[in-house]
């Protein structure tokens, strides 16, 4: 394996993590605020937008990026003469502990899943990249086809590990043509999948009481197929999102316009946990739980975006890590890392 530069941060990964956070909150907020199923035309349209373009897509991106981060962590630890595997296991145990606490507030949280699959994926670090790609693609195809969402992060983590082994994120400029071709292919498949999914979109505001048994069965089947097809094609849509963002970031003006995402992504753990905290604080403070419509939750998300993007930018002007990133690092290495930005990086 080629050496990883010890102190060089791969900015593209931070942009992608920040981008993934934008979508995750949109999917998590309805359950946290006990929002009723959509029953107005605006809510139904927004729900269809979430199902087509958000549900399962950003979760997939985060899983893939977790695998890339897994690959980067171990060689850097080895280069510092650290016990890399022991550190990684400790790192996952800490993540699992954080996730279990978070699970109490957010039953749909993902940290526990990442921690468990991260430990399972550890032996694959020594496996050849071609094998990791093959196993990852096969398992992803099986889990996506059968709609086993809870198991999908594992093959995505393996594919992220393989992406790290291929040094994809460190050779973007060299492989720009290949990346462009990949993104176009993913776009075409995504469009086909979205059109196929739309074919099964459930009818809006149906009166179940007036349905015959056959009509009710067909309605339920359409709902199930609608969700399943969305999950089946979510890896393609996620890959398109990632490819498109990587291409955009090759242009300085896009880097500038999207720069808030970089700091947002650098504090991904803090901001992910912060999303849950802010939603629950706002929901309880303003008595919004079970009292708002789906479209109204979007405005809460936008408010949280603005707050967290500004907070992340300001925080990283003074500190090297986000609060939870710093605690995670301290627990991993059993040392107190320098926190202030004035310290030598």
Q: Where are the beta strands (DSSP E) in the chain?
A: none
Angle at which helices 268-285 and 11-32 cross, to 10°: 20
Whether 324 maps to a domain, the answer reads yes
Does residue 240 belong to any structural domain of this protein? yes
Is there a contact between 121 and 67 (Cβ–Cβ < 8 Å)? yes
Query: Domain of 112?
Result: 11-333
Cβ neighbourhood burial of 296 (10 Å; 0-12, 13-18, 19+): middle
Strand partners, 340: 319
Confidence (pLDDT) at 88: 96
311 lies in a domain? yes
Q: Is there a contact between 74 and 88 (Cβ–Cβ < 8 Å)?
A: yes
Locus of tokens 């929002």: 35
pLDDT, residue 312, reads 97
- Flag whether 3 is in a domain: no
**Sequential pLDDT tens for the chain (345 residues):** 444 454 567 999 999 999 999 999 999 999 999 999 898 999 999 999 999 999 999 999 999 999 999 999 999 888 887 899 999 999 999 999 999 999 999 999 999 999 999 999 999 999 999 999 999 999 999 999 999 999 999 999 999 999 999 999 999 989 999 999 999 999 999 999 999 999 998 876 666 656 777 766 777 788 899 999 999 999 999 999 999 999 999 999 999 999 999 999 999 999 999 999 999 999 999 999 999 999 999 999 999 999 999 999 999 999 999 999 999 999 999 999 888 886 444
Angle at 170 between CA 76 and CA 20, to 5 degrees: 90
To 10 degrees, what angle do helices 268-285 and 294-318 make? Answer: 130
Model confidence pTM above 0.75: yes
Q: From CA 247, how far away is CA 255, in angstroms rounded?
A: 10
**Is 17 part of a structural domain of the chain?**
yes
Residue 167 domain-assigned?
yes
Q: pLDDT at position 341, please?
A: 82
Distance CA 53, CA 41 (A): 18
Per-residue pLDDT, 297? 97
Q: Which of 148, 160, 118 has the alpha carbon at shortest distance from 231? A: 148
247 occurs within a structural domain: yes
List helix spans (H) across 166-293: 176-198, 213-248, 252-257, 259-266, 268-285
- For residue 187, give the nearest of 244, 228, 141, 230 by alpha carbon: 244
Among the listed residues 12, 19, 21, 120, the one whose alpha carbon sits nearest the alpha carbon of residue 69: 12
By C-alpha distance, which of 17, 1, 3 is closest to 67?
A: 17
Q: Which residue pairs, CB below 8 angstroms and at least 24 apart, start in 175-183?
A: 176/247, 176/250, 179/243, 179/246, 179/247, 180/243, 180/247, 182/239, 182/243, 183/239, 183/240, 183/243, 183/244, 183/246, 183/247
Residue 4 forms part of a structural domain: no
How many domains would you assign to the chain? 1
């Amino acid at each position: 394996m080629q050496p990883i530069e010890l102190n060089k941060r791969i900015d593209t990964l931070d942009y992608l993590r920040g981008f993934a956070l934008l979508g995750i909150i949109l999917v998590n907020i309805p359950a946290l605020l006990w929002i009723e199923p959509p029953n107005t035309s605006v809510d139904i349209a927004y729900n269809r937008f979430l199902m087509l373009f958000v549900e399962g897509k950003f979760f997939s991106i985060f899983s893939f990026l977790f695998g890339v981060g897994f690959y980067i962590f171990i060689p850097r630890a080895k280069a510092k003469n650290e016990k890399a595997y022991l550190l990684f296991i400790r790192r996952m145990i800490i993540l699992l502990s954080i996730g279990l606490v978070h699970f109490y507030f957010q039953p749909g949280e993902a940290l526990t899943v990442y921690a468990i699959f991260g430990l399972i994926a550890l032996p694959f670090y020594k496996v050849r990249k071609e094998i990791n790609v093959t196993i990852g693609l096969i398992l992803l195809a099986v889990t996506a086809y059968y709609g086993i969402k809870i198991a999908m992060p594992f093959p995505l983590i393996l594919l992220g590990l393989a992406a790290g082994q291929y040094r994809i994120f460190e050779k973007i400029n060299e492989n720009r043509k290949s990346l462009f071709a990949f993104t176009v292919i993913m776009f075409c498949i995504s469009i086909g999948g979205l059109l196929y999914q739309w074919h099964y979109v459930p009818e809006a505001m149906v009166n179940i009481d007036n349905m015959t048994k056959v009509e009710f069965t067909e309605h339920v089947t359409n709902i199930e197929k609608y969700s399943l097809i969305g999950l089946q094609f979510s890896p393609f849509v996620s890959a398109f999102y990632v490819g498109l963002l990587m291409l955009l970031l090759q242009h300085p003006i896009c880097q500038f316009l999207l720069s808030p995402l970089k700091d947002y992504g650098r504090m991904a753990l803090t901001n992910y946990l912060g999303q849950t905290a802010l939603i629950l604080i706002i929901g309880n403070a303003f008595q919004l739980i079970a009292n708002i419509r789906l479209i109204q939750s979007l405005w809460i998300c936008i408010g949280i975006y603005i707050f967290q993007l500004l907070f992340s930018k300001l925080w990283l002007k003074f500190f090297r890590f986000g609060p939870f990133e710093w605690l995670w690092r301290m627990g991993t290495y059993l040392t107190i890392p320098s926190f202030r930005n004035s310290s030598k990086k």
